[in-house]
Amino acid sequence: MDLKQLYLKRQSTRKYSDRPVDDGLLREVCALAALAPSAKDSQPWKMFAVNGAKAREFAPCVQLGGANKWTDGCPAFIVIELDREKSDEKIGERFSHGDFSGNDIGLLAAHMVLAAEWLGLQTCILGIRDEEMIARFLGEPEGSRFPLVIAAGYAEEGYPVREKDRKPFDEIFRSIK
């Protein structure tokens, strides 16, 4: 797929078909996402693919305060864990604005959703989540951080392709010469 088409085609998908998602495909998406850049190449992340019946059990982890109810029908999730040790060890205290982990995780997520779309999977980035519940679900230590979760699957047939509703470009871009 042409890169521009890929950027236009990727959209947050909130209704999925029952078609199961192959474990290998989720792995491939994560392997491509892992090529994302990160500050000092710290790669402060881990990824967990939650698929099939386990995804149905996982959905409440991203329904904090009654949000994201639509995820009940989501066939797969990729959970992004922030690996704090990796982030600290590489950045250290050498820079006053040393915490780039938010940027790193955002870049990972951006690579992930585009890689998924390219491989034929639709996604939705989820910022609403219950990190304590996720830690328990995954058996990770208490206090582990899970900044983003990616819902993934095949869009329900007929799912509308929305026009991008972005700010007028001239409002957000200036050419300095």
Helix (H, G, I), strand (E, B) or coil at 159: coil
Distance CA 10, CA 8 (A): 6
Distance CA 110, CA 108 (A): 5
Examine residue 11 and tell whether it contacts ligand FMN (CB under 6 A): yes
Stretch that binds ligand FMN, among 90-98, 120-128, 135-143, 152-160 (CB under 6 A): 120-128
* Residues β-bridged to residue 6: none
Shortest CB 94 distance to ligand FMN, Å: 28
Examine residue 38 and tell whether it contacts ligand FMN (CB under 6 A): no
Residue 62-101 contact track with ligand FMN, rule CB under 6 A, x = bound? ------x---------------------------------
Helix axes 23-33, 101-118, angle to 10 degrees: 130
What residue ranges bind ligand FMN (CB under 6 A)? 11-12, 14, 68, 124-128
